[in-house]
């Protein structure tokens, strides 16, 4: 293929060996889940959801069991602002659910964001600015010191506005384009933000490390996560979060290896909807855990109903071969597959089987509201 010489590796390995995660072979418990369907997912739709469609989707996410839901970028448009206000003013947010809103590190945007949150019981304000070499050089044309100042000034403003409101909010910081950032610089800017917030065990901050653009094989991202996990300040008071995209088709592997490396939280979407090739698919992640006997702490017992609402409000089809969710994933066309599955089902009838081990079927279709065909 022509022109391959114009491309090179744009990621940065940690300055030290970070391979402790390779000693673990499975994820032992569910992470904190944060759905970004109503923000990242919605902004990637050809036709964004209406207010009522967003409310329907929000109610679905609550029913599934999400306790953290990013609802939008309130300062970006009147529609986003009004959705936030509708949730608060109509008292539609359960007491055990936290809404999350996104903001750039710009004073007028931060002011508008806090206005949108007025009266919210539980909220996370998610601050971000881009830190990669490409963004620093080409978009912002600023030095590392100037990029740090953008983050720190935004962190201080979040603190000021929160104090005016009685200090009810939690904070999250994302060095956007983390995967294209030198690891030492990513650590420096995250620690600078944490030094402003000074999180405590009873009010933790979130540091979110996004695969804004996938640039490497998954083991590289895991090593990057481990480096941050080992060197972040206030570590016991920080929730380490991931937000993987799927440019290289590796979002699931990135996320699972990231959890092995110390990440405690995952931001993603149902069915993987998102910019370009999409975000990480939380359904797949959750059912991967489920298939290995780990409670995902989300309820996907009725995948057909979830699929129907999702397709209606997003106008995005669920692919027939989508893991766990697609129309054909529990259908066998090969004779040898059909034979093995039939024999496995029959074998279970005559044996006391504590675990599911039917050939070719990683989980029992009935557990998610489906049937074997």
pLDDT in tens, 57-91: 999 999 999 999 999 999 998 999 999 999 999 99
d(CA 116, CA 100): 11
Tokens 């070499």 locate to 133
8 Å CB contact between 18 and 47: no
Q: pLDDT class for 291, splitting at 50, 70, 90?
A: very high
Average pLDDT, stretch 118-138?
97
What is the per-residue pLDDT for 167?
A: 87
Tokens 């092995």 locate to 260
pLDDT in tens, 22-64: 999 999 999 999 999 999 999 999 999 999 999 999 999 999 9
pLDDT in tens, 208-257: 999 999 999 999 999 999 999 999 999 999 999 999 999 999 999 999 99
pLDDT in tens, 338-366: 999 999 999 999 999 999 999 999 999 99
d(CA 202, CA 199): 8
According to DSSP, the β-strands at 238-244 and 170-176 are unpaired
Average pLDDT, stretch 277-299?
98
d(CA 8, CA 33): 34
8 Å CB contact between 243 and 198: no
Does the pLDDT of residue 173 top 90, yes or no? Answer: yes
Tokens 């071969």 locate to 321
8 Å CB contact between 83 and 117: no
pLDDT in tens, 90-127: 999 999 999 999 999 999 999 999 999 999 999 999 99
Instruction: Answer yes or no: pTM beyond 0.85.
Output: yes
CA–CA–CA angle 240, 127, 251 (5° rounding): 50
Average pLDDT, the chain: 97
């Amino acid at each position: 293929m022509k022109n391959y010489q114009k491309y090179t590796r744009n990621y940065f390995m940690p300055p030290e060996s970070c391979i402790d995660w390779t000693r673990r072979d499975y994820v032992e418990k569910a992470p904190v889940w944060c759905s970004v369907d109503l923000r990242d997912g919605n902004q990637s739709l050809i036709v964004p959801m209406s207010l009522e469609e967003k409310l329907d989707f929000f109610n679905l996410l609550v029913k599934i069991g999400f306790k953290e839901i990013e609802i939008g970028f309130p300062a970006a448009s009147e529609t986003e602002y009004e959705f936030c206000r509708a949730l608060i003013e109509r008292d539609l947010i359960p007491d055990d659910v936290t809404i999350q809103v996104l903001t750039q590190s710009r004073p007028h945007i931060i002011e508008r964001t806090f206005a949108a949150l007025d009266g919210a019981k539980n909220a996370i304000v998610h601050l971000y600015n881009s830190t990669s070499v490409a963004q620093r050089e080409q978009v912002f044309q600023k030095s590392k010191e100037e990029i740090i100042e953008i983050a720190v000034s935004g962190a201080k403003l979040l603190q000021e506005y929160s104090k005016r409101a009685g200090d009810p909010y939690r904070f999250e910081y994302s060095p956007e384009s983390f995967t294209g950032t030198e690891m030492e610089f990513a650590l420096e800017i995250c620690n600078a933000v944490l030094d402003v917030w000074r999180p405590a065990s009873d009010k933790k901050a979130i540091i979110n490390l996004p695969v804004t653009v996938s640039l490497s094989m998954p083991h590289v991202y895991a090593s990057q996560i481990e480096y941050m996990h080992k060197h972040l300040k206030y570590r016991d008071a920080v929730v380490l979060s991931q937000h993987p995209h799927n440019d290289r088709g590796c979002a699931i592997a990135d996320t699972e290896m990231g959890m092995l490396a110390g990440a405690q939280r995952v931001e993603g979407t149902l069915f993987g909807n998102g910019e370009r090739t999409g975000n990480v698919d939380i359904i797949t992640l959750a059912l991967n855990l489920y298939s290995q006997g780990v409670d995902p702490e989300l309820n996907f017992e009725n995948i057909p109903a979830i699929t129907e609402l999702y397709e209606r409000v997003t106008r995005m089809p669920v692919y027939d071969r989508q893991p766990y969710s697609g129309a054909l994933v529990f259908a066998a066309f090969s004779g040898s597959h059909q034979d093995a599955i039939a024999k496995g089902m029959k074998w279970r009838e005559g044996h006391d089987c504590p675990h599911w081990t039917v050939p070719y079927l990683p989980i029992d279709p009935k557990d998610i509201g489906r049937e074997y065909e």
